[in-house]
Amino acid sequence: MSQSPEKPIALQLTGITKSFGANRVLKGVDLTLHSGEVLGLLGANGAGKSTLIKILSGVYTEYGGSMASNGEMLVVDSPLAAKLHGIQTVHQRIDEGIVPGLTVAENLVFEEITEGLLPTVSSLRQIMPRAREVAASLDLNWSDSRLRKDVAELGIADRQLLLLARALVRRPKVLILDEPTSALSQVEAEQLFEVIERMRASGVAVVYVSHRLGEVDSLADRIVVLREGMIRGDQVAPFDWHRAVLDMLGEQVVVQLDELEERRGAEVVLNIQGARLLPHAAPIDLELRSGEVTGVVGLLGAGKSELAAGIFGAKPFEDGKMELFGKPFAPSRPGEAIKDGVYLVPEDRAEEAMLPGWSIAHTISLPFLASLCRGGVIDTIAERRRGKSIVEAFGVVSTSVHQDVDALSGGNQQKVVVGRWFEGQPRLMMLDEPFRGVDLGARRDISSHARSVAHAGACVVVLSSDIDEIREVADRIIVMVEGEIRVDSYTSELSRDQIVRYMSEVA
């Protein structure tokens, strides 16, 4: 799949720079995108990928350098201008493109209405035919009843597919996909890959941003690596991944974690009996023990998040009972669980773990405000100290703890919302998809912190749909399918193929 030099240039970037105050994020990026090429854009968190994407998509308008297409200079000074120039972007933060309060159908055609591409409409019935066409562009067989639902009722994966369909129907010259499979099941991801192949064949230049190197390896014609705001590597397929990882991280990094020293806990921290995770699933019994990391793996919809939400009191179990260290435990809201030392890093950081406009320090202190208050006033010195501790421990790339968390790259946001819980005193720590959108180095850091907390005596549960992520961090693995536990065994006793086989079984 090596790049043919005869392919026309879809977009050319020359000397792109961008600074936020004294922080120079991009330091002169020269990049050429060819029509019909899938370009894998790689880089560690904070390398400048998100900033470059926002410049291309018209979100950031103050920058140095130039953009050109077909030999003509482009002025991209707004998201609308980017779209008019044929540049479509599906951002990592899904909720930035969703309009709450509107139906799924209205969201599918929202941009076409606001940009005057569709005539003024006065009823939902008038836009349904076009909404069906947009959904069909991604082979989404959504019923009319689903199209009429409030978009808030869609899960994170379906919202991602909605944005993809909306982008593809515009027939872009350049399509930018930022971590597009982070919320998709394997079936949905394969559906996306087929669409990308169609885009390539039709001459679209696709910029594919992902930390999942296996996806990039199978899709990309070429990879470009950003580090510290500059391009450090540029390869055509077949790729030298050892070289690419060195280009990304600037040091010798082993992609696989070192072989774990498997530990087995003894004391039962949480005992669950007769809990029903999904309406038609059989109730489950489960013991979680201190001193070990339990990995819960399953496809989207397997019941992982329901398990975590039930334990945390975010969505209490309707059936069954729990005991925490032998005492009844039935939190009706997360605050009660937190007081008992039960913590949860949620799956969707933007919707469930962050507040717009809040600083890094405020975001880190949010779950523990009571402990930081003196006479009803927040101790800002203690808050700042806590924030600096997490920023340093997790290597959050930022200007200071006063920087808005919204301004961070997706991976650095994840470090903040994961890291803040490690400053507490967890008895039971649950991390739901903690590695989503983070690079290899950050994944190792989070895994190392999780195992350290477990080795100090806490119970740690990591929930993920990625088998390799779970195998890298867990002492014990539980495979869930359709709300039920299919296997519960220690990592050394399960091969990867066995886990795949259990996950693919249907009741």
* SS (HEC) of 113-149: HHCCCCCCCCCHHHHHHHHHHHHHCCCCCCCHHHHCC
pLDDT at 252 over 50: no
Sheet architecture: strand order including 205-209? 87-90, 174-178, 205-209, 38-42, 222-227, 230-236
Indicate if the pLDDT at residue 298 is higher than 50: yes
The answer to whether the predicted template modeling score (pTM) of the entire model surpasses 0.85 is no
pLDDT of res. 119? 64
180 and 248 both lie in a single domain: yes
Point out the least confidently predicted range of 205-209, 229-233, 393-397.
393-397
257-261, 336-340, 374-378, 476-480: lowest mean pLDDT where? 257-261
Is 168 within 8 Å of 138 (Cβ atoms)? Answer: yes
Encode pLDDT of 82-106 as tens digits.
Answer: 988 999 888 877 777 788 888 999 8
Q: Over the stretch 333-359, which tens digit does the pLDDT of each residue have?
A: 999 999 999 999 988 777 777 888 899
- Average pLDDT on 261-270 reads 87
Mean pLDDT across 164-173: 84
Q: What is the CATH number of the domain that holds 242?
A: 3.40.50.300
Domain check: are 188 and 69 in the same one? yes
Query: Could you give the CA distance from residue 402 to residue 73 in angstroms, rounded to a whole number?
Result: 37
Q: Is the pLDDT at 129 greater than 60, yes or no?
A: yes
In a domain, 181, yes or no: yes
Let me know if residue 57 belongs to a domain. yes
Q: Check residue 299 and give its pLDDT.
A: 72
State pLDDT tens for residues 477-489. Answer: 999 988 899 999 9
Residue 224 host element (H or E) = strand 222-227
- How many structural domains are present in the chain? 4
Same domain, 336 and 481: yes
| Whether residue 185 is found in the same domain as residue 71 | yes
Tokens of 29: 């990026």
Contact status, residue 409 vs residue 50, Cβ threshold 8 Å:
yes
Do 48 and 183 lie in a common domain? yes
> Which domain-ending residue is among 171, 187, 206?
171
pLDDT for res 250: 67
Domain-located, residue 447? no
pLDDT at 35 over 90: yes
Give the residue carrying structure tokens 């509107």: 102
Is the pLDDT reported for residue 396 higher than 50?
Answer: yes
Both 82 and 179 in one domain: the answer is: yes
Whether 13 shows a pLDDT value over 90: the answer reads yes
Asked if 308 and 359 sit in the same domain, the reply is no
Say whether pLDDT at 18 is over 70. Answer: yes
Mean pLDDT of 156-179: 85
Name the band, by pLDDT with cuts 50, 70 and 90, for residue 460: very high
Considering only residues 51 and 116, tell me which one the structure prediction assigns the higher pLDDT. Answer: 51
Q: What is the pLDDT of residue 47?
A: 84
pLDDT band for position 300 (cuts 50, 70, 90): low
Distance, CA of 288 to CA of 427 (rounded, Å): 11
Asked whether residue 180 falls in the same domain as residue 71, the answer is yes
Residue 297 in any domain: the answer is yes
Task: Say whether pLDDT at 257 is over 60.
Answer: no
Report the pLDDT value the prediction gives residue 260, as an integer from 0 to 100: 62
| Residues 72 and 188 occupy one common structural domain | yes
**Last residue within a domain, chosen from 153, 171, 189:** 171
Q: Is 503 within 8 Å of 465 (Cβ atoms)?
A: no
The average confidence (pLDDT) of the chain is 86
pLDDT score, position 4: 45
Tokens 């977009």 locate to: 11
pLDDT tops 50 at residue 28: yes
Q: Domain end: 171, 205, 235, which one?
A: 171
- How confident is the model over 183-229, as pLDDT tens digits? 777 777 887 888 899 889 989 999 999 877 888 999 999 999 998 89
The answer to whether residue 375 sits within a structural domain is: yes
Name 88's Cβ contacts closer than 8 Å, sequence gap at least 6: 82, 167, 168, 170, 172, 174, 175, 176
Per the structure, the complete domain to which residue 33 belongs is given by 6-86+173-255
Lowest mean pLDDT among 116-120, 252-256, 361-365: 252-256
Q: Are residues 49 and 193 in the same domain?
A: yes
Sign of CA dihedral 92, 97, 102, 100: positive
Percentage of the residues of the chain whose pLDDT score is greater than 90: 41
**Cα–Cα nearest to 441, from 406, 412, 408, 481:** 412
Where residue 14 falls among pLDDT bands split at 50, 70, 90?
A: very high
Judge whether 450 lies within some domain. Answer: no
Please check whether residue 116 lies inside any domain of the structure.
Answer: yes
- Three-state DSSP state, 363: helix
User: Is residue 115's pLDDT more than 90?
Assistant: no
Torsion angle of the four alpha carbons 269, 275, 281, 286, in this order, in degrees rounded to the nearest 10: 20
What pLDDT sits at residue 489?
A: 95
Q: Quick: pLDDT tens for 414-452.
A: 889 888 888 778 999 999 988 876 777 778 888 888 999
Is residue 258 scored above 70 in pLDDT?
no
d(CA 486, CA 478): 7
Q: What are the φ and ψ backbone dihedral angles of 6, each rounded to 5 degrees?
A: -75, -15
Least confident segment among 30-34, 49-53, 353-357: 353-357
**Which segments of 15-68 does DSSP mark as H helices, in order?**
49-56
For the chain, give the number of residues: 507
Instruction: Annotate 235-279 with DSSP letters as a single string.
Output: EESSP-HHHHHHHHHSS---SSPPPP------SEEEEEEEE--ST
**Co-location of 65 and 108 in the same domain:** no
Q: Specify the higher pLDDT residue, 29 or 136.
A: 29
Residue 373, phi then psi, degrees to nearest 5 = -95, 140
Let me know if residue 103 belongs to a domain.
yes
pLDDT of residue 118: 66
Looking at the fold, whether 393 and 495 belong to one and the same domain comes out as no
